[in-house]
Chains A and B, each alone.
Chain A
Amino acid sequence: MPLTESAATFWDQITFWILAACVIGGALFTMTRRNPVTAVMSLVGTFFALAATYATLSAHFLAVIQILVYAGAIMVLFIFVVMILNREEVAPVALRGLGARILGLVAGLYLVFVFARVVHLGAEASVPVPSETFGTVASIGDILFRDFLYPFEAISLLLLVAVVGGVVISRSHKKEVAAEQAAERRKIIEQLAHADFPALSDLAGDGDAHGGAGGHH
């Protein structure tokens, strides 16, 4: 391997292993908790460790975005929802049926096989020393607004749709149902009033000339 991997110093390795332990440990902790609040908190820790891992890949901009968006926004949303619907699971783990297990095993083995090939490819590739501007806000912005302008605009559309969809789906429909029922009742009352009026006039003036006009109502 040419000139590249000698650059991984002792401290680089220590950092990587600590961060990897934090990421995997946090993820396992998240997935095995029964209490959703504990799970969310350890997921926040996992995301912080992941952001640090991104920074070691000289992706500084994305490390900051990771903390802002994940640890800041998404996790707050999770906490809110956990607080709204905090229910304990009766039986947390579900995997029933022999067929499902065999299928899962085969799919998992295939995943491991494919991934081993990818890692093999990655191991052969030589890692160049990144340029000075690699991963900075300026260079990412340059790429984002030059080469990826349309995807960037598509993201804004996606976020708008997601916001509207989230509001529409999670909104309570009780008020609407009540309003609809009230409108229906009002309609029935109006119909009754209109229907009653000519009948009353018929009763009042039986042989009157106004009876014909009342029929038009």
Chain B
Amino acid sequence: MPTSYYLTLSFVLFLVGTGGVLLRRNALIVLMGIELQLNAGNLALLAFSRALGDQKGHAFAFVIIALAAAEAAVGLAILVALFRSRQTINLDEASLMKR
């Protein structure tokens, strides 16, 4: 398949993830949207890696997967702490530092 097909798939996936991050209020769904965005980036990296015949993109994708794992761990811990102190995971209500 041409690289552009994979890149387009990656772009649509990134758009869906971005829509979730920007539009949803449930912090869990927002974290899932961030995971989708990271995976879209991985897909683009692997597509370019395949197109250029260079495996460095695979190493980058590996690093990004580890990063996503760390992000999920810390993000979910923050959610648990937020829920403990506020009894909510609605992002609109976590606005103490905005006021």
Contact = CB atoms under 8 A, between A and B. Distances in A.
Interface of A: 5, 8, 12-13, 16, 20, 23-24, 27-28, 30-31, 33, 36, 39-40, 43, 46-47, 50, 53-54, 56-59, 61-62, 65-66, 69-70, 73-74, 77-78, 81-82, 84-85, 87, 89-95, 104, 108, 111, 115, 118-120, 122-123, 125, 127-128, 130-131, 134-135, 139-140, 143-144, 147-148, 151, 155, 158-159, 161-163, 165-167, 169-170, 172
B73 interface: yes
Contacts of B3: 122-123, 125, 127
B67 to A, nearest CB: 7
8 contacts: A5-B2, A30-B36, A78-B76, A94-B25, A119-B7, A122-B3, A134-B53, A161-B70
Nearest to B76: A81
B62 A39 contact: no
A16 B5 contact: yes
B70 A162 contact: yes
Nearest to B4: A123
Nearest to B25: A94
Interface residues of B, number: 71
A196 B71 CA distance: 56
B61 A59 contact: yes
Contacts of B76: 77-78, 81, 166, 170
B74 A165 contact: yes
A130 B54 CA distance: 9
Interface of B: 1-9, 11-13, 15-20, 22-26, 28-29, 31-33, 35-36, 39, 42-43, 46-53, 55-56, 58-59, 61-63, 65-74, 76-81, 83-84, 88-92
A159 B59 contact: no
Given A24-B16, A89-B26, A158-B66, A166 B5 contact: no
A58 B50 contact: yes
Contact of B65 (A65, A125, A151, A162): A65
Given A127-B50, A166-B73, A8 B1 contact: yes
A82 B23 contact: no
Nearest to A51: B39
A16 B63 CA distance: 25
